[in-house]
Every structure is written in C-alpha cells, then in structure tokens.
Amino acid sequence: MARLFGTDGVRGVAGRDLTAELAMDLAVAAAHVLGDAGAFTATGRRPVAVVGRDPRASGEFLEAAVVAGLAASGVDVLRLGVLPTPAVAHLTAALGADLGVMLSASHNPAPDNGIKFLARGGFKLSDAVEDEIERRLGEQWSFPVGSAVGRVRDAYGEADRYISHVLTTVSAPLDGLSIVVDCAHGAAHMVAPEALVRAGARVEAIGARPDGLNINSGHGSTHLDKLQQVVVSRGADLGVAYDGDADRCLAIDHTGAIVDGDHIMAVLAGAMHGEGSLAKDTVVATVMSNLGFKLAMRDAGITVVETAVGDRYVLERMKSDGYNLGGEQSGHVIMLDHATTGDGLLTSLHLLGVVAKSGVSLRELASVMTPLPQILINVKGVDRAKAAIPELVAAVVEAEAELGETGRVLIRPSGTEPMIRVMVEAASEEHATQVAGRLADVVRTACAS
C-alpha cells in the first residue's frame, strides 16, 4: 500500500480520503506513539497539544475530530483557531507544547485538506515517527477516564504572540513603503495585514475574505494575476502573496514582474552575507533552483548547497550542517534563526526590510540574478526505474558538455507515476528547448516500459 503520509503530512479530499474517523485515529495514534517514544515531557502533568487550521470549511469537522482524539488519549488541547502553519509551529515551541497539529492543504483547492503533526519545538516529525504512527493506526488502545482525560480550551488570543515574534526579528521599519498583500483567502488573512501595518507599511489587503470555500481561488502565490494588476494600478512599491497556510511567499515588483523564491533567497542571502549573519556564507536550495540563482550566488561569494526537492529536505540539511537560510523556488524560505518552518509572513517582512533599509526598489534588488530559460518535459508512460540506464546517462553527459557552464540538465523520475521529468536550462530558450527535446526522445526510446 502507498504510504499514508506524504512530504507534508496526510492530505486528501476531505470527507472522502481524509475522513473524520481517519483524523481521529491519526490523533490517537500520534498521542500514543509520541508518548511511548518519550517525546512528551516527564513533568507529572498531562501532555499539551496546540491545534490550528486554515479557513477551509472541512477544517471545522477535522479540527473537532483531532481534538477529540487527543483529549480522549489524555492530552490537553489548546485550540488556536485559524492561523498560518508557521504560527502553529512557533506557538508549539513558545507555549511549551508537546505536540502541534495543523489542518491545511496549503495551496490546494478548498475540497482538499490535510493533517500535519509537529514535534516538540515546532519541527516536523521524522519519516520514522510518521511511519510508526501510520503502522499503529486502528490499534486497540487503553484510554484514560475521569480526571485523566484531556481538557480542551480556546487560545485564539495567542495569534498576537506570533505577530509580536515575527516583528521582533526585523530591525528596519517599513515606514513609507506601500504594499499590496494577497492572503489567498487563507490562514494569513488577519495576521499578515496587521503585522505589516504594525511594521510601518501602508497596506492594501486582497484575498482577505475567506468564506471556507474560496481559499486559493484566483488569489495567492499560485494565482498572481490579480496581485500584479492591483500593484500596478495602485502604483504600489511592491506586492507579496502567500498560499493557503502562509508557509510560502512570492512577490511582485512595482512593474508587475514576478519575484520568485530564487530571487527572494538571492536578495536575503546577499543582505545577510553583507551583514555577516549568513551562517558559513552558505544558502541551501533544491536541485530545482534556477542555475541563474547559483551563478549569482557564486559571483557574490556565497556557497549553494543542494538538496532533493521538498522543504523538509532543505530543513534537514540546514539543521545537520548549521546553515540558517534555505528554501525553494516556490517561495518556501526557511530562516532558521527565527522559525522552524518556511514562513511566508516572516520572509516578506525580511524582504521588505531589505528594500526599506537599502532604499533600492525590489526590481533592482532582484536583478542580482538573471534566471536562465528553463524547459521541463514530462515524459509519460515510461519505466521510471530506468532513469539511470547507461544510454540516458551518456546522453545527459553529452548534453551537459554542450551546454557548458551556462546550462544544466536534470533528469528526475516521478515518485508516484510512470513518468520521467526532463529539465534543461540554457542561455537561450531555443537552445534549452532543443536539448530537452533530444533528451526526451532518448527517454521515450531507452526507458520504454
């Protein structure tokens, strides 16, 4: 059977794939597994969990199921209400909770939802712990009774603790900056505009009226058209966009051009490098970051360390090797000095801080890197296990020699489908298209199933 946990928790269509029964079972299993593993504090008190969610309608019944499962297992629960994922992660640590739970499907449409567990300190669970939770689903447990059952209370006021935290990390006031912020009708619709205003910016919020069904619909980091229009029409200095749970951020400069995660990391890395705060003069990125980013970092004297695709792999490398900045092209940026996860609000505040402190437009700051044309071809109906066969390896070596230092080839088998992805970057779109087409033809022939 396929693994229930994906790269970012358990996700599916709420009510069909992700049912109330499954949500409760996951909460019960998580409580027992973490308790058995000694992850809960041994202070003589009951363990404590914090639970947050994004505004999806299904989050209401899933929250009830998760809270019921935890309390029935003897865990006290603080309901945080609608908050971004990074806020829940921060509050897990700040409140000394033993477990955090976030109900969200991030940038997915409203019918989807997900459950993400956070360990003590606000970090994601390891694969091994997730596997153990999944293995013990449906086990017959002995539940507490009477005074031993968990108690549940609302802690909606803790949102201000998170806002205050992110504001303390930024030294430069944003006075004078005019900003349009797109909240994706999601979890940041209240905290992001308030934090930006308190930081001194003039703020216009769009995508900030969630109704439970409109999350990510035509707004947010995956739908930037509306934000581009408003930034240009209002003559704003820039715009920022979050996704449904606000763990990622993309930006728009004053001309309406997109500033993606690679650009944002380049700006932040350059500023931190200049201040001497970039740990080991290194930034962590995935193999999908544009070669233009890596070339820009090389020219700035900054090392780029690569990981597999996924912010959890970026975070693992940062923690293991002592780096403090990393992220993905999609806008997941992790600033480990201040957060345990990607944090869209935190990222935007620091990006805006660089703009304010430098007095330079975001467009000029982002021009530190020139993205190379990138062509991606998904070759379907092939045997993904053959992605490393000699014929394909030889073709890749030949292509890389042809591209030289101004190009790159990446062959990635899909993790779930009979498909191999061919990605080529080159100095021109025409050259990238030609090389990608040739390699795709090799994949079709050599990797036929």
The answer to whether the CB of 335 falls within 8 A of the CB of 325 is: yes
Model confidence at 17: pLDDT above 90: yes
Cα dihedral angle (6, 8, 9, 10), rounded to 10 degrees? -50
Cα 176 to Cα 237: distance, rounded to the nearest angstrom: 9
Neighbouring C-beta atoms of residue 159, cutoff 10 Å? 20
Q: Exactly one of 58, 73, 106, 221 is catalytic; which is it?
A: 106
Mean pLDDT for 335-356 is 97
What is the rounded end-to-end Cα distance, in angstroms, of the chain? 22
pLDDT tier for residue 35 given thresholds of 50, 70 and 90: confident
Instruction: Write the pLDDT tens digit of every residue in 163-218.
Output: 999 999 998 899 989 999 999 999 999 999 999 999 999 999 999 999 999 999 99
Query: Does 106 qualify as catalytic in the annotation?
Result: yes
What pTM does this model have?
0.91
How much is the pLDDT for 378?
94
Instruction: Write the pLDDT tens digit of every residue in 303-323.
Output: 999 998 888 899 999 999 999
- Tokens found for residue 314: 């970026």
Chain centroid offset of residue 240 CA: 15
Compute the mean pLDDT over every residue in the chain, rounded to the nearest whole number: 94
pLDDT tier for residue 42 given thresholds of 50, 70 and 90: low
**β-pairing verdict for 202-206 and 178-182:** parallel
Model confidence at 1: pLDDT above 80: no
How much is the pLDDT for 25?
97
Mean pLDDT for 283-300 is 95
pLDDT tier for residue 7 given thresholds of 50, 70 and 90: confident
How much is the pLDDT for 31?
95
